[in-house]
Each structure stands twice: as C-alpha cells, then as structure tokens.
C-alpha cells in the first residue's frame, strides 16, 4: 500500500535547564494513503511528540536530530521552510487536539473560525466561506447548524466543541488528519459519536487518519494499523487485528490485559510489570461483598436545584438532582454512572456536604447530615472523605507531601504532636506504595498516578469509613488506572471502607461496584446489582450507555492474555 507519510529514525529531545531529555528514540513508521493508523502508549511514551513532529508544532526547547526524516510527497518536512509548513498545515495536514476549549478562540463565533481557514487556504470570499462553514457544521453532525454558526465555543457542549474542531480540520479536505486524544475528556456516548464521525469521514473523503490514544479498546474500532510506543520507542507495529489476536511484545500484551474486562472480574487487575516480568497472574474471580447489617447511610429524597438569572427580573430553575434515594452498606461499593450533567458528581458533593442539598435526608447513625450546622458536622467530615478526579488541582502545589498529609490531621486533632503526625503520614505513604522520600517532595515532582496515591493517602489520614471516589481514575493511563484500582480494593478489604464510586467509564464501574445507580438528567433511572445491570439492562438509557462502550477486539485479546 502506498505510503502518504514516512517517518524514519525520528529522534527528539528537550532542553530542561542544563539537561537534555530524549523523548523519542529512533522511531520509524508509515501512514498509508486513505487509511487509519493508531499511535498508542501511555503518557510519556512519545506518541504526541512523534505526531507533532510531522507538522512541526513542537515547543521551542525541542531538539530534532538532523538525521531524522518525515517524508511527504518526496519532501522532508523536518527540513521544509516555515512558509512551506504554513501552506501545508490546515490544507494538506490538519490536527484535532485533545481539549477543544484550549484550541478554539473564545472571542470568535465558531462559524467565523471555520471560515477563516477557508479564506486563508482555499481563497474563498467571505460569503462563500460562510456557506461552506454551514455545510461543514452539518457534515459533522451539529444540530441546527445555521443557528450554531454565530454561537461562541462556550455555548456548545464538549462533544459539539470537538465536532467544530473536526469541521475546521477537514475544511480544506486534508490528505492527513492527526487526531490527538480527541475523545479522552468525553462521555462514552459522545465518544462513540466522535469515533463514528471520524470513521465515516475517513471512508467518504479517503483521507488518512493518525489516531493517538492510550485506549486500546477505542483504537480497535477506529484504526486498521497500530503502532505501540513505550519510552520513546516503537515496541510493536502491524495490522491491528493481528496485533490484538497475537501480540508479540510483552508491553502490548500488558496494555491489553490492564483494561478491566466486561466478561470477568479478577481479584486483581494485571499491571504492566506483571506481564512484562512474567509474574503469575490472579485469575480467581472477585465476588461481591455480602450485605451485612443495617445500612451505614440512608439517603432519601435528596435533591439539588440551582436558580439561574435570566434577564433583569426573571430566573429559571435547574434541577441537578431530583429526589434521589439510595443506601450505602459497610464494606461495599455503590457505583454511580451517567453522562456529564446527569447529577452524579452533585450527589457525591451533597453526601460530603461540600454542596448543600435543597431537600432530602442523609441519615448517618440516626442523624441527618443534611441539616447539621457546620460545628456539628465537623466530626462527620473525618468519617466521609472524597478523592477528586484531578490530582493536579486537588493538591496544594506549595505544600510538601508531608505538609499535605499532616495538615488535615492537625485540623482534626489526630496525633499527640508533630512527630506522631509525621510518623502516621509516613505510614500512610507506605500503605499507598510510595517511598518515605516522598515526604519532603512537592506534588509537581510526581507522575499523575503517584499524585492520585498522595490524594488517597490524604483521605486515609482521617481514618474515614466512607470515601467518595469522584472520577478518581478517569484521567489516568490504563496501566496506572489498574494500579490505583487494585490499591482501592486492597484498602477496602483491609479497613472495611465503603465507596461511592462515580465514573462515566462503565467498564471500570462494573469491575469496582457491587451495586450500580444509573443517572440521567438528575434522576436515577435504573439500579441493581452490577452483574445484573450489565447482563440485562432494563432502561433504554442504560442500554444506550452499554452499547456505546468501545470494544474493538480488545476484550477478546485480553482474555487470551489473561484467561478467566
């Protein structure tokens, strides 16, 4: 098959102060014409650096080896002039980035942003560009495209923003579309729509797509060929079906095995080192934790409404959560699933009293937490903790890890003095798998997975009984995600913790939860045992969510790597 792009011996390093860090080490791969290639790997594998080298969009501190080559139509793009590259970007080669709100200009309507590309690269007049922009919005599935032409990015949902980015990228009918993690921040149903859209565009327009992702289940539905990267090197490449059926490299096998499966629930998820180092794998099934005794917490009629101002004298009411009822049993996990805006995070915030409830009861040991004054609530805050989604934002960057762990103990009077609190903090660091040397370091010195471990350790310093996990693994690579999920289960078993596990990742929720609540538009539309919900969903919305789970061939491949 004829190659559109040939990457040969690509080497890229970055200047970091007085040192140089090599990010890409001799990478070579081809992107055939009119087909799709997936570039997969964990954070730091070099996949985005490799892709951005093609369009020369690397930061100023990047150093590209002079011997490296990126060939396109007989030209080496790494040695092309800036003028040549400007004429190629947006016309022959386009990019869809991960976060559309960072890529779209907030002060221009989306129609104007699409038209700008057409005026620059296609030479269309203002009126022609606007009409073509309208056609493109319709082509990427934006509802009421004429009305949306003059909308600003903040007036669109995340999925619609990403569709606008795709419309800009395909405006000049490029030969290559680079999609850099275009669905990572999106709900499963919106993710499905974007994947289907890209696949349809690739087929209709006969363009090539370089799809960058860390999710093998997703790329299995998009790409025909796959390139697996780790530590800046290509570990395996080939036809995606063949690679999934018989992965040759241990790292590829590990990526396939780390993802929670829909057809099995082992006591522990494999992690990268287990597969790479040929360690014995846990194949025993994990059974749901039995219900014992009365509920730890009973929630009844819990609602949250917001009043938004409309005009000078008018207001409208938004019902974020509508009369939710559920119970939490000691040592068990209740999963809450739904799309953005379904109300699942609001439930977690009300349970911890970080958001006051509008109506309803939260009964804990005979007391209604929803009505307690701040002083009365203080003892209960120790017992109900929360782990947030983004460890980058939830840890104070000016505090050392020791200070982060000791501050809540100091506020709640845990420990006889600073020495004892330091000893307790070191014990919790060991419990979450971090060395004692982490105590004196700052959050920026750790990876995303390590920061989430620090956030978990901070929760544990309070010796809580209930932990709300609010999308606490959704920002992590699949291998790091597996490590954190194993840690949460170990801690639950050791300390009898009760989890409210909130996520839009249905495979993760199925692995973690004993029972599940499915939420849509602020309402609980279905509830039941985890296995039963997945085996026989009753509500159409639940069926829609389950149908949208990306599968590719990855679950079958994982079963071959780790037999159930």
196-222 mean pLDDT:
88
Alpha carbon distances (Å) from 417 to 13, 285, 460: 47, 44, 18
- The per-residue pLDDT for range 144-154, each reduced to its tens digit, is 899 889 999 98
Q: How far is CA 13 from the centre of its chain?
A: 27
Q: What is the pLDDT of residue 561?
A: 57
167-171 mean pLDDT:
92
Q: What is the pLDDT of residue 362?
A: 96
- The per-residue pLDDT for range 76-122, each reduced to its tens digit, is 999 999 999 999 998 999 999 877 778 899 999 999 999 999 999 88
Q: What is the pLDDT of residue 405?
A: 95
- Indicate the domain borders of the chain: 1-92+176-253, 102-173, 297-548
Percentage above 90 pLDDT, the chain: 57
pLDDT surpasses 60 at 369: yes
Q: How many residues does the chain have?
A: 564
Residue 14: pLDDT band (50, 70, 90) is very high
Percentage above 70 pLDDT, the chain: 96
pLDDT surpasses 70 at 559: no
Block residue for tokens 């490799």: 50
pLDDT surpasses 60 at 556: no
Q: What is the pLDDT of residue 1?
A: 67
Residue 26: pLDDT band (50, 70, 90) is very high
Q: How far is CA 28 from the centre of its chain?
A: 28
pLDDT surpasses 80 at 187: no
**Which residues on adjacent β-strands are paired with residue 208?**
176
Low-confidence winner among 48-52, 388-392, 489-493, 514-518 (lowest mean pLDDT): 388-392
* Cβ–Cβ < 8 Å for 30, 51: no
Q: What is the pLDDT of residue 562?
A: 58
pLDDT surpasses 90 at 62: yes
Q: How far is CA 530 from the centre of its chain?
A: 22
- The burial class, CB within 10 Å (0-12 / 13-18 / 19+), for 518 is buried
Q: What is the pLDDT of residue 195?
A: 86
- The per-residue pLDDT for range 472-520, each reduced to its tens digit, is 887 777 888 888 899 999 999 999 999 999 988 888 999 999 999 999 9
pLDDT surpasses 90 at 398: yes
Q: What is the pLDDT of residue 476?
A: 77
Name the CA dihedral angle for 417, 420, 421, 425, rounded to a multiple of 10 degrees. 170
Q: What is the pLDDT of residue 84?
A: 93
pLDDT surpasses 60 at 564: no
Q: What is the pLDDT of residue 264?
A: 82
- The burial class, CB within 10 Å (0-12 / 13-18 / 19+), for 119 is middle
Helix (H, G, I), strand (E, B) or coil at 444: helix
155-171 mean pLDDT:
87
CATH 3.40.50.300 corresponds to the domain 297-548: yes
Spell out the residues 6+ positions from residue 506 whose beta carbon is closer than 8 angstroms to its own. Answer: 188, 337, 534, 545, 546, 549
pTM of the model: 0.84
- The per-residue pLDDT for range 211-269, each reduced to its tens digit, is 998 888 888 888 999 999 999 999 999 999 999 999 999 999 998 888 888 888 888 89
| Nearest alpha-carbon partner for 27 in 2, 1, 43, 46 | 46
Four-way CATH pick for 1-92+176-253: 3.40.50.300, 2.60.40.1260, 3.40.630.30, 2.30.29.30:
3.40.50.300
- Which one-letter DSSP state was computed for residue 339? -
Q: What is the pLDDT of residue 560?
A: 53
CA distance 353 to 460: 18
Q: What is the rounded average pLDDT for all residues in the chain?
A: 89
pLDDT surpasses 80 at 290: yes
Residue 558: pLDDT band (50, 70, 90) is low
């Amino acid at each position: 098959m004829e190659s559109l792009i040939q990457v040969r011996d690509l080497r890229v390093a970055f200047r970091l102060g007085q040192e140089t860090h090599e990010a890409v080490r001799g990478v070579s791969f081809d992107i055939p014409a009119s087909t799709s290639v997936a570039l997969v790997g964990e954070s730091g594998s070099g996949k985005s650096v490799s892709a951005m080298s093609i369009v020369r969009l690397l930061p100023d501190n990047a150093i590209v080896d002079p011997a490296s080559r990126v060939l396109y139509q007989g030209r080496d793009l790494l040695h092309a002039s800036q003028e040549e590259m400007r004429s190629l970007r947006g016309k022959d080669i386009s990019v869809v980035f991960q976060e559309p709100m960072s890529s779209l200009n907030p002060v221009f309507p989306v129609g104007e942003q699409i038209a700008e590309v057409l005026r620059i690269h296609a030479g269309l007049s203002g009126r022609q560009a606007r009409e073509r922009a309208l056609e493109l919005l319709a082509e990427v599935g934006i509802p009421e495209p004429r009305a949306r032409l003059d909308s600003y990015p903040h007036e669109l949902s995340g999925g619609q923003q990403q569709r606008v980015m795709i419309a800009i990228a395909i405006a000049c009918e490029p030969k290559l579309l680079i999609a850099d993690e275009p669905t990572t921040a999106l709900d499963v149903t919106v993710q499905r729509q974007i994947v289907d859209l890209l696949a349809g565009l690739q087929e209709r327009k006969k363009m090539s797509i370089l799809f960058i992702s860390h999710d093998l289940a997703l790329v299995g539905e998009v790409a025909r060929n796959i390139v697996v990267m780790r530590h800046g090197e290509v570990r395996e490449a080939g036809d995606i079906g063949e690679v999934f059926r018989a992965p040759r490299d241990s790292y590829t096998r590990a990526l396939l095995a780390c993802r929670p499966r829909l057809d099995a629930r082992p006591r522990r998820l494999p992690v990268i080192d287990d597969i790479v180092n040929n360690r014995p794998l846990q194949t025993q099934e994990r059974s749901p934790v039995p219900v014992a005794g009365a509920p730890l917490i009973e929630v009844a009629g819990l609602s949250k409404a917001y009043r938004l101002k409309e005009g000078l004298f008018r207001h409208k009411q938004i019902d974020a959560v509508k009369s939710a009822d559920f119970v939490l049993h000691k040592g068990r996990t209740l999963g809450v699933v739904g799309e953005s805006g379904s109300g699942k995070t609001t439930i977690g915030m009300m349970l911890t009293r970080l958001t006051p409830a509008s109506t309803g009861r939260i009964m804990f040991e005979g007391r209604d937490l929803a009505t307690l004054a701040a002083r009365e609530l203080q003892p209960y805050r120790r017992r109900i903790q929360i782990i947030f989604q983004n460890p980058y934002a939830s840890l104070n960057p000016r505090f050392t890890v020791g200070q982060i762990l000791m501050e809540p103990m100091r506020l709640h009077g845990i420990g006889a003095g600073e020495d004892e609190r330091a000893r307790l903090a070191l014990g919790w660091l060991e419990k979450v798998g971090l060395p004692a040397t982490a105590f004196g370091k700052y959050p920026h010195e750790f990876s995303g997975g390590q920061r989430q471990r620090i956030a978990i350790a901070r929760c544990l310093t309070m010796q809580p009984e209930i932990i709300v996990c609010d999308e606490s693994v959704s920002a992590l690579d699949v291998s790091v995600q597996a490590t954190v999920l194993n840690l949460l289960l170990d801690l639950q078993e050791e300390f009898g913790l009760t989890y409210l596990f909130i996520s839009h990742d249905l495979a993760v929720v199925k692995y973690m939860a004993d029972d599940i609540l499915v939420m849509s538009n602020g309402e609980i539309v279905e509830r039941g045992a985890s296995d039963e919900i997945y085996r026989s969903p009753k509500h159409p919305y639940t069926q829609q969510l389950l149908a949208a789970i990306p599968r590719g061939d990855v679950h079958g491949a994982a079963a071959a790597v780790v037999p159930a």
